[in-house]
């Protein structure tokens, strides 16, 4: 039985959470420009906000990878269905966080102005466009760049689809190595730390049952900006 006053406490908690979130912009400015002191009750950050977001994205990818390993494939070949809708949702969110982190790293002023004006972070279309057009290394081939874009679009579509129409699913299990290749590369390239999940994805991006993909030009996991 819910005790009396619970809803009022929840309302107060929501107000406190909203106030807490608003202080995030000040902490971003304090880090990238050193023009503000941290908000009251907060210590200066020891790690760049974009790197903290990338670490969070890595945790999401790890969770999605664990879920995908336990998925049950029904059917055969490229038409097989796998019961890993949750992993696609998590991978999709991870991709959004990666793009957001890169945008924050490169355009902290625009990031903060957008948050202050619209009370939300920049939209994925904006952050993804920046990642694809301005942040990727020049050493990638056109085919590799296109694959990154296609996988990001695939994850976005599947994330939205499964969140709203999970009962009407269509999964191609041969996409998983491509997803691991792209997410692993992005985490490796933009993170200043060697994330544990990157090595796992590098191993699991190998194609063992898909001969058409055996000559895939894998993305360079060890390349840095």
List pLDDT tens digits, range 65-84.
988 877 655 444 444 444 57
Distance CA 113, CA 38 (A): 18
pLDDT of residue 52: 95
Integer angstrom CA distances of residue 121 from 7, 24, 62: 28, 11, 24
The partner residues of 82 in beta bridges, in order of sequence, read: 73
Across the chain, mean pLDDT equals 83
Integer angstrom CA distances of residue 56 from 24, 52, 101: 16, 6, 10
Q: What is the pTM of this model?
A: 0.84
Residue 75, both tokens: 């059917």
The partner residues of 81 in beta bridges, in order of sequence, read: 74
pLDDT of residue 71: 62
Picking from 33, 41, 24, the residue whose alpha carbon sits closest to that of residue 100 is 24
Residue 74, both tokens: 């029904």
Q: How far is CA 75 from the centre of its chain?
A: 30
Q: Is the pLDDT of residue 41 over 90?
A: no
pLDDT of residue 7: 86
């Amino acid at each position: 039985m819910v005790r009396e006053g619970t809803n009022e406490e929840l309302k107060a908690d929501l107000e406190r959470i909203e106030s807490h979130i608003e202080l995030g912009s000040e902490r971003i400015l304090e880090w990238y420009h050193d023009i503000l002191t941290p908000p009251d009750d907060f210590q200066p950050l020891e790690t760049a906000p974009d790197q903290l977001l990338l670490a969070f994205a890595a945790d999401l990818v790890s969770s999605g990878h664990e879920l995908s390993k336990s998925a049950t494939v029904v059917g055969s070949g490229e038409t097989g269905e796998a019961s890993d809708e949750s992993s696609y949702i998590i991978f999709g969110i991870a991709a959004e966080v990666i793009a957001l982190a890169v945008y924050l790293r490169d355009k902290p002023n625009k990031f903060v102005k957008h948050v202050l004006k619209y009370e939300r972070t920049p939209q994925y279309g904006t952050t993804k466009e920046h990642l694809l057009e301005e942040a990727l290394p020049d050493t990638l081939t056109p085919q590799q760049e296109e694959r990154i874009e296609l996988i990001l679009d695939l994850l976005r579509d599947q994330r939205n689809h499964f969140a709203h129409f999970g009962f009407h699913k269509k999964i191609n299990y041969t996409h998983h190595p491509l997803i691991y290749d792209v997410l692993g590369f992005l985490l490796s390239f933009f993170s200043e730390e060697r994330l544990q999940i990157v090595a796992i994805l590098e191993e699991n991006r190998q194609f063992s049952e898909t001969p058409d993909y055996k000559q895939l030009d894998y993305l360079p996991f060890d390349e840095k900006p």
